[in-house]
Amino acid sequence: MSFVNLQFWALFLPVCFAVYAMMRSARGQNLILLLASLVFYASYDYKYVLLLLLCTGLGYLGGRLSGRDRRYCIAAAALLLLVLLVFKYTGFLLGGLGAALGFSLPAILLPVGLSFYVFQGCSYLFDVYNGKLEPERDIISYGLFVCFFPTVISGPIQKGRELLPQIREKRALRYEDFSFFLLCFLWGAFLKLVIADRLDIMTGKLFVEYYDYHGLVLMVNSLAYTMQIYADFAGYSYMAIALARLFGFRLGDNFRQPYLALGIQDFWRRWHISLTSWFTEYLYFPLGGSRKGTARRYVNIMIVFLVSGLWHGAAWSFVLWGALHGLYQIIGHLTRQGRTRLYHRLGIDTESGAFRAGQRLVTFSLVSFAWIFFRAGSLAKALVYCRNMLSGFAPWALFDGTLAGFGISGLDWAILLLALGLLGLVSALREKGLTSGCILKQGFAARALVCWALLMSIVVFGAYGGEYSASAFIYAGF
């Protein structure tokens, strides 16, 4: 059961919201949401509900025992990370040993959302250890903090000092929250069902059969995946934030027009903001950040991005993806002064629209190239893909019908281009500060028209209206 599942809309959400609305206390509201969250998680794989409860219990006990000794927080965080290590990285760490000794290790099924709720529990424990947060005494409140169904599968990763105060207070049901929920959720569903799932038809085929294609076809496919992963994950995040608002919780943005970034550092201020914030606060700063000299700063940056790559998946291709982003940032820092002097000598106005457009194009190209390693599944596949992409360049592939052979018809391409155009327009408006708040300030008729247009687009052009079905959220696998 996912946010775009009919069972979720026909049964789970109406029942959950109706019972929640009848509660007269914060504790009653929290209990209903906690039980609903466990049911939601069990719909993915009921066997791992016990693991979720175990991790919840570890975090709760670590915080409660911190009054005796703060080191209990570190011990509990270490145990949480050990659980993540066992389930996610055992095969990666021991796979080479098994191959060398001539035996294969049994596959361990990765529990959905494990990386997210482990990091969320660790953030709470680190904040308690550092004195930024008082330990939560109510097990129901803490359980909801970890298990809350909008965020437990794929985030956004929440910090205890931001979410727990909202959990402790009774939430009133407000019309403004419902309006925000409807608009934000429909926009997220539009990104997922109209854009991401349609692009998945092409990328799902070409990232498997890449060895049969070359040049421009693979370049277009890599750009398609660049847009797919954004539409998929940002779509999920918008829906999660919207669902949380329906129940009175306010979560921060997880994406802020990342493909309009002016550099790689700027990109990471805009992409998966909750994870970037987690690594910055709980890894980069404790390593010393930029306080211990330039060389140490570069080492810290590379460590953070290598760990980020491993967090996304136990494969060398993810490690290289992280290393690329680390190198992008280090090279950017190393060449900053030289580039500034060069621009000055050439009389280039670095504040001009043309220059900023060039910055965005270069950043987008670098990010798109790195996504190949993220998507390929293995380092060997990624390298072959890149080799084929850089050979046999044939520009006529755009016009000879080659791209129509991947399950995306001419009509599908037209729908995609229009949908991507809408996404670009909305991103440009948000970049100028014109957010969904502007729509919410309009009258009922204007808001209803926007929501109706999004709903009809999803019904007619989305995964349920075409000849394909909704795919799983990409980040649910992490």
User: Which one of 272, 312, 325, 344 is the catalytic residue?
Assistant: 312
Q: Is 214 a catalytic residue?
A: no
Residue pLDDT, tens place only, 151-177:
999 999 999 999 999 999 999 999 999
DSSP assignments along 218-281, one per residue: HHHHHHHHHHHHHHHHHHHHHHHHHHHHHTT-----S-S-GGG-SSHHHHHHHSSHHHHHHHII
Residue pLDDT, tens place only, 135-144:
999 999 999 9
> Quick one: which of 22, 112, 190, 55 has its CA closest to 472?
112
Q: How far is CA 89 from CA 28, 104, 226, 320, 477, in A?
A: 38, 15, 26, 16, 14
Q: Does residue 350 register a pLDDT over 80?
A: yes
Let me know: does 436 contact 172? Beta carbons within 8 Å: no
pLDDT of residue 403: 62
> Quick one: which of 217, 213, 237, 229 has its CA closest to 151?
237
Q: Tell me the pTM.
A: 0.93
Residue pLDDT, tens place only, 12-21:
999 999 999 9
The mean pLDDT value for 356-377 works out to 96
Among 74-83, 279-288, 398-407, which stretch is predicted with the lowest mean pLDDT? 398-407
pLDDT of residue 107: 60
The mean pLDDT value for 438-447 works out to 84
pLDDT of residue 213: 82
Separation between Cα atoms, residue 328 and residue 390, nearest integer Å:
20
Residue pLDDT, tens place only, 198-237:
999 889 988 998 888 888 889 999 999 999 999 999 999 9
Q: Does residue 399 register a pLDDT over 70?
A: no
pLDDT of residue 210: 85
Q: Does residue 396 register a pLDDT over 90?
A: no
pLDDT of residue 215: 84
Residue pLDDT, tens place only, 331-348:
999 999 999 999 999 999
Question: Both tokens of residue 431?
Answer: 């970049």
Q: Does residue 101 register a pLDDT over 70?
A: no
> Quick one: which of 174, 126, 166, 128 has its CA closest to 145?
166
Q: How far is CA 322 from CA 193, 294, 308, 393, 394, in A?
A: 28, 20, 6, 28, 31
How confident is residue 397, by pLDDT bands cut at 50, 70 and 90? low
How confident is residue 100, by pLDDT bands cut at 50, 70 and 90? low
How confident is residue 103, by pLDDT bands cut at 50, 70 and 90? low
Q: Does residue 243 register a pLDDT over 90?
A: yes
Q: How high does pLDDT run on average in the chain?
A: 91
The mean pLDDT value for 233-254 works out to 97
Give the HSE-up count for residue 412: Cα atoms under 13 Å, Cβ half-sphere. 22
Q: Does residue 466 register a pLDDT over 60?
A: no
pLDDT of residue 25: 95
The mean pLDDT value for 34-39 works out to 98
Amino acid at 128: V
How confident is residue 405, by pLDDT bands cut at 50, 70 and 90? low
Residue pLDDT, tens place only, 253-304:
999 999 999 999 999 999 999 999 999 999 999 999 989 899 999 999 999 9
pLDDT of residue 102: 59
pLDDT of residue 387: 93
Residue pLDDT, tens place only, 310-333:
999 889 999 999 999 999 999 999
